[in-house]
A and B are shown apart, each in its own frame.
Chain A
């Protein structure tokens, strides 16, 4: 296989890692029925914190831990405000987005442009020698491996364990989950905290591996992309992963075309393409247009195709649960 293509694919896997982690985190949160809108700010703040802490302490682990704690804290604020004060999750999430972004700018200004540590390169011994696949997937660092392992773990968790079943049920119909003995609020807190920690980890992945170092607003926009990918992916882990690779692939393709002078487009226009494509895809899928085009599909495969195109949010998304 073409070595340029292989290395491009490997780059894609690397660049998609934070998006993948963040969107899986948000998936868990939203499956529990909570919207954490603060992703964009959280990722920024977590990226800054991961860099600053590892820079100051010299331990990468501490940096990652700090990032995860920050993600968790922000997510817990959203859920606590929603559960105890019945506040609108969107409003709180939005304010936190702005606040976290400002905090990252303010506290990160000393670290801007500094040389920091990087997660060590750690190819996996045997797997790395598989042609193509080895180079694409198994010659990275541990966070990148984690990102695609996470998709599988989340999928297994959601669809094949009892924990996952109750996660789905409490996002779908909390009253029914309560009747069946699920402690709705407790599990919401747990899953939201977990999702938040993953979002924080995504920030750490940026500043410690993918976009090494810290610069003001360096990850701006990626949180929103992650949020949109969750919708695009219809709240299902593998489709979300596909969405993340798709977006990153688009960017890579655009850059490649630019380099090869195939398409003479300025970089800003290329930066716009993922957003435009995302809008077009969202419109296509959510407006029911895609579904009405399903008549082309032979009837036998129609249910499967319908299932594939289905984008139905968890039934209780964004709402409060009150017992009794």
Chain B
């Protein structure tokens, strides 16, 4: 075992180690899925064929995947900001839901000229999502409620509220209460001619992504967020407005999540269904965790996730499996990547310690910092910033 470890340490370079967790994670997740399929007496090949058929085989299906991918990418962009600032925005599900509710409140009950209508709907979506997030942020800095618990509570509030709207005031005249009526056409986002894709959403997502990319790679605000994520108190001492930055990051994330929710109701569904977010907020959290807050990886990872996730539904009807199988696959994948990334970091630490020892003539220095997702505080709501 020690020989093997030595071999690993000596032969592995940084780049090779970087792909090691992803590779192993994928293999393990695939292995588990194959085992499960075996147990259920389903050919893995059939599942693969089904997924391929539903996602990549035809242009319409591909467009559908992209359409599913865009709101996820939008959420990921927001989460990149909050994660960098050391905030666990678990409340993103609720922010998506509220964004959808906000958009619906305009789409169903207001009639304006088409452009204004769309603009108002999107504004309301962003405002509602942003408000939900900002409230969580204020609860954290002023109320001392950790954003994880604040976010979870806000999630439940949002989902209960939207369900209440569906069975109560917004329920269609003679219906079951699982969705509102279809929105009138003037309320819906326009689609491209050839494929069913919304250009407005594409623009929004692209803008958000470029904004986040620029913010995190070169801006002063990005640097401030990074410092806050590593050590909020020190950042404050260095003159960073930490409280305001927390609010701003939460607000931005909430707006992006709200817009994603708006897209879901205004384009993908054309009505407000129960449980509108369908778990894409948590999916985005997984994406950002897997990409370890590296902006460039996020589009690729989120696309892969979106592809698999959107293929989940037919599993139940065609193969008597369940869409949660995809969730299991993604969960195991992210879990294994986290674990093996931990292994990689420990290995790398050893390598660097050796190098340092050799280079500095043996001066004892603290271990190099580990690249991991920082969270600002432990899960206690005892402390508040400021």
Contacts and interface: CB of A to CB of B under 8 A. Distances in A.
Interface of B: 36, 88, 90, 139, 142-146, 148-150, 152-153, 156-157, 160-161, 163-164, 167-168, 282, 285-286, 289, 321-322, 324-325, 327-328, 331-332, 334-335, 338-339, 342-343, 345-346, 370, 372-373, 375, 378-382, 384
Interface string A228-263: 100100000000000000000000000000000000
Contacts of A91: 289, 338, 373, 375
Interface of A is mostly: helix
A276 B282 CA distance: 22
A286 B375 contact: no
Contacts of A228: 149, 152-153
Given A86-B346, A272-B161, A311 B382 contact: yes
B335 A95 contact: yes
Given A102-B327, A286-B382, A287-B143, A279 B150 contact: yes
A90 B380 contact: no
B92 to A, nearest CB: 12
B158 to A, nearest CB: 10
- Which 7 A-B pairs have CB atoms at the shortest separation, nearest pair first? A85-B342, A99-B331, A318-B378, A313-B380, A102-B327, A268-B164, A286-B144
A317 B378 contact: yes
B331 A98 contact: yes
B375 to A, nearest CB: 6
Contacts, number: 147
B148 to A, nearest CB: 7
B149 A312 contact: no
A69 interface: no
Nearest to B279: A98
Contacts of B90: 94
A227 B380 CA distance: 10
Given A81-B342, A91-B373, A313 B378 contact: yes
Nearest to A92: B338
Contact of B325 (A35, A85, A106): A106
A59 interface: no
7 contacts: A87-B339, A87-B372, A98-B331, A266-B168, A282-B143, A311-B381, A318-B378
A85 B327 contact: no
A182 B339 CA distance: 28
A37 interface: yes
B152 A224 contact: yes
B328 A103 contact: yes
A35 B379 contact: yes
Contacts of A219: none
Contact of B384 (A92, A271, A286): A286
A99 B161 CA distance: 26
A286 B145 contact: yes
Nearest to B370: A86
B328 A231 contact: no
A109 B322 CA distance: 8
Given A102-B327, A103-B324, 14 more contacts: A37-B148, A81-B339, A85-B339, A88-B373, A99-B331, A106-B322, A106-B324, A106-B325, A228-B152, A231-B149, A287-B142, A287-B384, A311-B381, A311-B382
A275 interface: yes
B327 A98 contact: yes
A86 B88 contact: no
A120 interface: no
A288 B160 contact: no
Contacts of B375: 88, 90-91
B322 A94 contact: no
A283 B143 contact: yes
A101 B339 CA distance: 20
A269 interface: yes
A95 B334 contact: yes
Contact of A95 (B36, B289, B345, B372): B289
